[in-house]
Structure 1
Amino acid sequence: MATSSIHPLSTNRRKLERQLSRDDIGNQARVLLNGFIHDRMVRDGMTDAPAVEELQEPGTPVGPPMEHVQEIARALRCIGDELDRDEKIQSMIAKIPPDAPHQSFLKIAGDFFSDNIYNWGRVVALFYFAYRMALKALDRIPLIRAIINWVINFIVDKVAPWIIERGGWGAIVEYFGTPANQVAAVMITGVVASAAVLLYKSFN
């Protein structure tokens, strides 16, 4: 039957998430980003990695709940693993001080999408950027929280409409389902790194 080729997330996700607002996408992004940061810190051997709960102020909204969170996190992790091997983006991030001004941070994040092309590789590159900045501020939880808030606010303002059009965060699982899409999602970050590196002259 034709329906046998439809990803199991598709029907339920579109019914449940079609009405998501920008704030919903941002609150869900916070859950995913906090988990992404904590997971990578642990995997990188950070014995003093802050708990997920420490990465946000008490009472911070985290809903609405998402289905298949583990699958979404796995897709985010796969792209993050590829970024670990991207020398351009590593060089780019190494030049940025963890206490870079808010406006400088926003300019860097904005450059990830300066050509108005959106894809999951670039969204995860933004997550990865936040993670690497958090690594530089391990002993300053308030600064890590500020970095996370900047990313979430940027997603709400700039990226959320694109994610809503895809049907929500669960769409990354469907997109990441084929080897060709996995490669495309990661290769585009090379373009991001090449463009963004021009910004860092101000930090030298």
Structure 2
Amino acid sequence: MSTEGTPDAQIGEALLIRVVQDQFLNVPVGGNVCPPSLPEVQPLDNPQHQKLVEELGQSVRVIGDQLNRDQNFNNQIDILACLYDKGIFSKLVENVFSDGQINWGRIIVLYYAVGKLAVKMVLANLPRVFSELVDSCLDFFRTKLLVWIRNMGGWISSISAMTRFSVEHISASSFNIIPSAELAVAFFCGILLGSIIVWKLNRSS
């Protein structure tokens, strides 16, 4: 597939929306929980570009399964979920791009983490934070990541990189080490957030 004329901006936006939607499909509540209105992005008219988004979405799901088995990643998500405000995304970016370097693995980790956090915000009945989180990620993609993606040859170039994805490498290089005090806070915040989510699920069942 040629990269000439590939709308990398639209592909990146469509991929983020797909990742968020996929995360809601994993919520075991019989389909009763749906995300608030997602931002409208420019549709992809070219079937090849649509297929690329589907392939990228599948790659994110596979990588996400690996990330879900990584305790450091889950600890970071729990800490961020306790912020309950727009600062969630800023802190997420600070962790994922802690040394200022961009690579395909980190972009995918960012997208997947936003999807997981988005679900937590909706289940905790925080639609405003959900919207701010998704909007902030779209803005960050457009202003910070898109130029790098184009310089690397576009989204099509990410496919081969994703096949070499290493959770161990990403975990070591993309997330700050969490001090023990923060882990304790994350534990109690996780209990609180979990209680809210369980209450929401019971109400919707």
Instruction: Pick the aligned partner of 2:84 from 100, 106, 110.
Output: 100
The runs of at least 4 aligned residues of structure 1 exceeding 3 Å deviation read: 97-101, 139-142
Alpha-carbon distance, 1:103 to partner? 4.0
Alpha-carbon distance, 1:50 to partner? 1.9
Out of 93-102 and 160-169, give the one that drifted further: 93-102
CA contact (8 A) 2:98 2:174 kept: no
CA distance in structure 2 between the partners assigned to 1:29 and 1:55 by the alignment: 18
Instruction: Pick the aligned partner of 1:197 from 174, 178, 181.
Output: 178
The 1:175/1:97 distance shift into structure 2, 3 A limit, reads: closer
Instruction: Pick the aligned partner of 2:5 from 2, 8, 16.
Output: 16
Out of 60-69 and 28-37, give the one that drifted further: 60-69
- Counterpart in 2 of 1:56? 38
Instruction: Pick the aligned partner of 1:158 from 140, 144, 152.
Output: 144
TM-score, length-scaled by structure 1: 0.72
Alignment of structure 1 residues 84-163 onto 2, 5 Å? 84-97=68-81, 100-103=84-87, 105-138=89-122, 139-163=125-149
SS of the equivalent of 1:91 reads helix
CA distance in structure 2 between the partners assigned to 1:150 and 1:112 by the alignment: 15
The 1:44/1:56 distance shift into structure 2, 3 A limit, reads: closer
SS of the equivalent of 1:117 reads coil
CA distance in structure 2 between the partners assigned to 1:39 and 1:85 by the alignment: 18
CA offset digits 1:99-119 (Å, max 9, x no partner): 533245313313311213222
2:16 corresponds to which letter in structure 1?
L
Out of 101-110 and 160-169, give the one that drifted further: 101-110
- Counterpart in 2 of 1:30? 13
Instruction: Pick the aligned partner of 2:23 from 40, 45, 54.
Output: 40
The 1:155/1:140 distance shift into structure 2, 3 A limit, reads: same
CA contact (8 A) 2:84 2:129 kept: no
* Structure 1 unmatched ranges of 5 or more: 1-8
CA distance in structure 2 between the partners assigned to 1:196 and 1:56 by the alignment: 32
CA contact (8 A) 2:16 2:111 kept: yes
2:171 corresponds to which letter in structure 1?
G
Alpha-carbon distance, 1:150 to partner? 0.9
**How many residues matched?**
177
CA contact (8 A) 2:85 2:129 kept: no
* Structure 2 unmatched ranges of 5 or more: 186-205
Alpha-carbon distance, 1:197 to partner? 3.4
CA contact (8 A) 2:86 2:129 kept: no
Identity %: 20
CA contact (8 A) 1:55 1:141 kept: no
The 1:104/1:43 distance shift into structure 2, 3 A limit, reads: closer
